[in-house]
Amino acid sequence: MPNAAGSDRAMRVWQLWSQAAEHRADLPAGHRNYWETHTVRSQGMLRLGRREFGTHEPVIMAIVNRTPDSFYDQGATFRDEPALARVEQAVSEGAAIIDIGGVKAGPGEEVTAAEEARRTVGFVAEVRRRFPDVIISVDTWRADVGEAVCEAGADLLNDAWGGVDPRLAEVAGRYGVGLVCTHAGGAEPRTRPHRVAYEDVMADILRVTVGLAERAVALGVARESVLIDPGHDFGKNTRHGLEATRRLGEMVETGWPVLVSLSNKDFVGETLDRPVKERLVGTLATTAVSMWLGARVYRVHEVAETRQVLDMVTSIAGHRPPAVARRGLA
């Protein structure tokens, strides 16, 4: 009986806490400003594939690279079976989206559109067959590849190079799939930034991503299926990446759902002076800050660790109850 009573008390505390969150508009102005400054910002409904996500439901996008030379896993999922095993593991650990890429972001051997399609289209079809409910995203900047993967069952086109091929948004509108609109600072695909400068990096991010998002909706993409991405490391140096993170709330305030691709990025590595394989802690710290500021989707390599961070931040913000609540109640 004591445990049952303790559980009842815990539930009542949780209900009161939730009610306080719902009625924070009734708080005195000073208290309300504190709440609004120090809690997770929310946005509207996000709809991707067959799924809908609530305003306080963070979404994990797991990276599956179909490349032999990816910067992080060095081709570990280039072959079909390891890649399918990676999808199964990511889904079991809490990923709602699988992001499939056929060309690494950095410089390297040329990959034609035909080769990119060969690496991705059949794999998209197989993932759709084996995992009918998972959201399939494809990381591509090419409209021809986008059309082919949509035919194979993709739900989302992740345009990491900021609309360099304007036809990609047209493909998304025609097929009724989602679109990620990214700030890449005008960089050409697969190039590294060199002495790039902005008068105001966040102002440029907002101008580009909101413009791309509005164009996508005008072309027929559902508003609730468009995301904006600050594009960490794309057309930016480390200080730009830190500032974009620090000011992420400005993107959230536009009302467009925000996606962040932080996982093991160079801006994390340079900030902490850590090589690629030692950037997890910095990535998770940046993830927690981004979650607090209101980002909705997190593109990651390490799904299980990210899931714990997002659950913890969501609970601190008052939008998720503890998985268990026994302490002090027995």
Active-site residues, by number, are 265, 299
Task: Tally Cβ neighbours within 10 Å of residue 269.
Answer: 19
Cβ pair 226, 211 in contact under 8 A: no
Task: Tally Cβ neighbours within 10 Å of residue 199.
Answer: 6
> Which amino acid is located at 43 in the chain?
Q
As a whole number of angstroms, the distance between CA 150 and CA 172 comes to 8
As a whole number of angstroms, the distance between CA 100 and CA 294 comes to 25
**Can you list the alpha helix ranges (DSSP code H) found in 188-247?**
201-218, 238-246
> Which letter does DSSP use for residue 133 in this model?
T
Query: Which tokens in the block code for residue 265?
Result: 């990025």
As a whole number of angstroms, the distance between CA 101 and CA 123 comes to 10
Nearest residue to 94 via CA among 57, 144, 65, 138: 57
> Which amino acid is located at 274 in the chain?
R
Please, is 108 exposed, middle or buried when counting C-beta atoms within 10 Å of its C-beta (0-12, 13-18, 19+)? middle
Cβ pair 173, 212 in contact under 8 A: no
As a whole number of angstroms, the distance between CA 272 and CA 281 comes to 10
User: At residue 63, what are phi and psi to the nearest 5 degrees?
Assistant: -85, 130
Nearest residue to 177 via CA among 219, 231, 144: 219
Cβ pair 66, 77 in contact under 8 A: yes
Which pairing describes strands 46-48 and 51-53: parallel, antiparallel, or unpaired? antiparallel
